[in-house]
C-alpha cells in the first residue's frame, strides 16, 4: 500500500495512525509526528526504524496516487527544547473519506478471509470424518462411532454457517464496492 519494499505495511499503518490518532489527538499530524508514532508503535520485530525519506515516499503514494490522505501546508506550533513554542510552516496530514472507506473495507475483507480459513479447516475435518465413518471395518463396540458422527454433523453445520456468512459478506462487499 505504500510501495515500500522494506516496510510492507507502512501505508496501512500510516492510514491507521491518521484514522485513530489523527482525529483524537491534540497534536498536529506532521511528518515528524507520524515518524515518531510509527517507530514507537508499529514496527515489526525484525523491521528497521522507518526513515523520513521512506515515509515521505509512502505519504506521496498515499496522497498522490491513491488519494487516501490529503496534505496541506500549515503554520503549526512546535515545542522547543527549552519548553517554549515556535511557529513553523509544515505539511499536515489527514486521512480522507476514501481512506476511511478503504480501512473499513479492508477490515471486512480480512474478516471474510478469516471465515474462509476457518471453513477450510472445518471442511478438512468433515472430510476426514466422512472417510473414517465409511470404513467397512468400523467397530461399534464403543461410543467413538457416535462421537465421530456427532463431530461430523457439527463440522457440517459450522461449514454451512460459514459459507452462508461468507456469501453475505462477499455480497455486501460487492455492493459497497
pLDDT per residue as tens digits for the range 3-32:
888 888 899 999 999 998 766 677 889 999
Cell of 167: 456469501
The tens digit of pLDDT for each residue in 52-106 reads 999 999 999 999 999 999 999 999 988 888 989 999 999 999 999 999 999 988 8
Q: Is the pLDDT of residue 140 over 90?
A: no
Q: Where is pLDDT greater, at 56 or 114? A: 56
Cell of 100: 476511511
Q: Average pLDDT, stretch 128-151?
A: 88
How far is Cα 175 from Cα 64, in angstroms, rounded to an integer? 27
Element (H, E) at 69: strand 69-79
How far is Cα 147 from Cα 138, in angstroms, rounded to an integer? 13
How far is Cα 125 from Cα 56, in angstroms, rounded to an integer? 48
- Residue 6 has a pLDDT of 85
Q: Is the pLDDT of residue 36 over 70?
A: yes
Q: Is the pLDDT of residue 160 over 80?
A: yes
pTM to 2 decimal places: 0.72
Say what percent of the chain tops pLDDT 70: 98
C-alpha distances (whole Å) from 17 to each of 33, 41, 59, 153, 166 are 10, 10, 12, 44, 29
How far is Cα 108 from Cα 170, in angstroms, rounded to an integer? 9
How far is Cα 84 from Cα 80, in angstroms, rounded to an integer? 6
Q: Average pLDDT, stretch 142-163?
A: 90
Quote the mean pLDDT of the chain: 89
- Residue 34 has a pLDDT of 93
How far is Cα 17 from Cα 12, in angstroms, rounded to an integer? 9
- Residue 31 has a pLDDT of 94
74 closest CA partner among 33, 38, 39, 37: 33
How far is Cα 117 from Cα 175, in angstroms, rounded to an integer? 23
169 closest CA partner among 116, 117, 94, 132: 116
Q: Where is pLDDT greater, at 173 or 125? A: 125
Q: Average pLDDT, stretch 148-168?
A: 90
How far is Cα 113 from Cα 83, in angstroms, rounded to an integer? 49
Q: Let me know: does 38 contact 62? Beta carbons within 8 Å.
A: no
- Residue 22 has a pLDDT of 66
Radius of gyration, alpha carbons of the chain: 25
Amino acid at each position: 500500500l505504500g510501495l515500500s519494499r522494506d516496510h510492507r505495511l507502512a501505508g496501512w499503518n500510516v492510514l491507521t495512525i491518521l484514522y485513530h490518532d489523527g482525529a483524537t489527538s491534540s497534536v498536529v499530524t506532521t511528518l515528524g509526528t507520524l515518524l515518531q508514532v510509527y517507530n514507537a508503535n508499529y514496527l515489526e520485530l525484525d523491521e528497521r526504524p522507518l526513515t523520513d525519506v521512506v515515509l515521505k515516499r509512502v505519504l506521496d503514494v498515499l496522497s498522490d496516487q491513491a488519494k487516501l490522505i490529503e496534505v496541506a501546508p500549515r503554520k503549526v506550533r512546535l515545542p522547543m527544547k527549552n519548553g517554549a513554542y515556535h511557529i513553523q510552516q509544515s505539511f499536515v496530514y489527514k486521512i480522507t473519506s476514501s481512506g476511511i472507506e478503504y480501512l473499513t473495507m479492508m477490515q471486512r475483507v480480512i474478516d471474510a478471509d478469516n471465515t474462509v480459513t476457518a471453513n477450510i479447516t472445518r471442511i478438512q475435518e468433515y472430510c476426514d470424518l466422512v472417510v473414517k465413518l465409511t470404513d467397512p471395518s468400523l467397530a461399534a463396540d464403543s461410543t467413538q462411532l457416535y462421537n465421530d458422527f456427532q463431530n461430523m454433523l457439527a463440522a457440517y453445520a459450522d461449514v454451512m454457517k460459514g459459507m452462508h456468512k461468507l456469501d453475505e459478506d462477499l455480497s455486501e462487499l460487492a455492493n459497497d464496492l
